[in-house]
Amino acid sequence: MTPIVRSGGAARAGAVLLFIGPLVSWVAELITASAWQEPHYSPFYNWVSDLGLTGPSQVAFGPIAIVVLAILAGMGVSLVGIFQGSNANVANGLIAFHTYGAQGVMLAGNVMAIVVGVNASRLGQGRGRRVASIALGVFGLVAFGAFMADVFTGWAWNIGLFERAVIYPIMIGHVVLGGGLAAARTARQALPHQPVLAGR
């Protein structure tokens, strides 16, 4: 029997996309489902298609800007993973996709942290998390400028340190947001349900 498995860069890219596609879908489903506020999303009673419904911001996830930025950052991560920063990709020019992806993640991720902080109250976040998220995003964007200057001047001084100064605020911001959403959800579930009185 003749094998139908292809080889080469296209085959590797296809394999990577097949692998990460379901993972991205599951993560997106978890994020969207956990963000439903009124009513809460139930994987047992709600259709899968309900996750794609649009409506008031308190029903879905909040400002559309957050969703757009998250998608852009996710696309950037995918480009970074598919087009590795290898010498081979430098030689054949594919390193450009890796670079664009990395810069996209850095910009979109830090801007998203600021947007999340600005909309903290709508996302059930307290003042401390609001300030932390905005501060992380601003720090990351300032570090991005320093990182790009370090790269394009050819100085390349402590390049890994500058790069992490851009990326780590995004990761910490995700932890702050995730922890805040989980805490807000727990607090809502702990509230006693008020009985509905007849005649009112």
At 38 the pLDDT is 64
120 vs 124: CA distance, rounded Å: 6
Confidence class for position 193, pLDDT limits 50, 70, 90: low
pTM over 0.85: no
Q: What are phi and psi of 192, to 5 degrees?
A: -70, 140
Quickly count: other Cβ atoms within 10 Å of residue 108's Cβ. 21
Q: Which position has the higher pLDDT, 65 or 112? A: 112
At 154 the pLDDT is 82
Q: What are phi and psi of 100, to 5 degrees?
A: -60, -40
Do the Cβ atoms of 97 and 105 come closer than 8 Å?
no
At 151 the pLDDT is 85
Does 182 have pLDDT greater than 80? Answer: no
Q: Who's near 36: CB < 8 A, 6+ residues apart?
A: 59, 60
At 120 the pLDDT is 83
At 200 the pLDDT is 43
